[in-house]
Structure 1
Amino acid sequence: MGPNGEQVGIVRIDDALRLAQEADLDLVEVAPQARPPVCKLMDYGKFKYESAQKAREARRNQQLTVIKEQKLRPKIDPHDYETKKGHVSRFLSHGNKVKVTIMFRGREQSRPELGYRLLQRLADDVAELGFVETAPKQDGRNMVMVLAPHKKARPKSAAKAESE
């Protein structure tokens, strides 16, 4: 490819290097895995700078997801339930996912519906902050459910500025 993005076609390496030297540019291999390899006449320093900018932009737009865990028991006291529900609400409002685990002991293992009902109740109580990402499922002695926060809406000031 030429310096302005035009197609030059298949050229021998010697000719391509001569063209690059005449135009005071570098011959940069853009797609080495292609057959034949694709090269472009360009300023290599500018190419490196632009690719670094793209990588930096991609890293800035990347979102780090944090998973918090909250453990419960099937026969939890009402006050303890409210406390745990408050923790889950706080995690979701901060934008974190929450893994809720119910731990069964002894004879409680024969009554998984108690844990399922508790998880459903918790999901309903925090429905305005998050949704069930992974439905409750039994995993050995534990029952696990994952809650994820709702997507945050843009601030009203940004939406208002765009409409004007």
Structure 2
Amino acid sequence: MNDMITAKEVRCMGDDGTNYGIISTREAQSTADDLGLDLVLIAPDGKPPVAKIMDYGKFKYQQEKKKKEAKKKQKVIEVKEIKLSVKIAENDVNYKVKHAIEFLEAGKHVKFRVFLKGREMAHPEAGVEVLKRVWPMIEEIGVMDKQPKLEGRYVNMYVVPKNEHHKN
């Protein structure tokens, strides 16, 4: 920007679309100063490099504004985690599945985790069995995004709402 530009000559353009052609950097800088604007290098790899005469502060402000707009339009996906254990009772499973169904109906993603304690680590398939017991209860409203899989001390299964999955 401005005096930091080291190229001898630049292809210069104005903010209003005026094309100054290939001129010396010094000449481009003086033109920018006369207009009360900044000389900004747009394409430094070009032959010759491309510079634009513009209000840099205004340019930065508009870039920030665009970023904020894009961020507003993003959809945040909430992931709810439901923890189970290998020795979980049937009514506890039903209670946790009821909550999972509420989360899925609200459009949230659900991650089921079975924690393996002590010697249960020797038989991770027991955790997979618990998740396979849970799956039939939620398959009407959910889509299994990730199959039950051992990750560290947990066996995880990821479920997304059915209606959201069909949109993609």
User: Quick check: TM above 0.5?
Assistant: yes
Q: Offset of 1:145 from its aligned partner?
A: 1.6
Q: Given the superposition, is the C-alpha separation of residues 142 and 53 from structure 1 closer, same or farther in structure 2, using an over 3 Å criterion?
A: closer
Cα separation, 1, equivalents of 2:52 and 2:83: 58
Match of 1:13 in 2: 25
Cα separation, 2, equivalents of 1:53 and 1:115: 48
Cα deviations across residues 64-111 of structure 1 (Å, max 9, x unaligned)?
A: 333322111234322211100011122223333322111334665555
1:26 alignment partner, one of 16, 37, 40: 37
RMSD across aligned positions (CA): 3.2
Match of 1:99 in 2: 111
1:58 alignment partner, one of 59, 70, 89: 70
Maintained 8 Å contact 2:32/2:39: no
Please identify which structure carries the higher strand content: 2
Match for 1:81: what amino acid? V
Cα separation, 1, equivalents of 2:142 and 2:41: 44
Match for 2:61: what amino acid? Y
Match for 1:15: what amino acid? E
Structure 1 unaligned segments of length 5 or more: list them: 155-164
Cα separation, 2, equivalents of 1:124 and 1:33: 59
* Amino-acid identity (%): 35
Does residue 142 of the first structure (1) align with residue 148 of the second (2)?
no
Cα separation, 2, equivalents of 1:41 and 1:107: 70
- TM-score normalised by structure 1 residue count: 0.70
Match of 1:42 in 2: 54
Maintained 8 Å contact 1:29/1:37: no
Match for 1:96: what amino acid? K
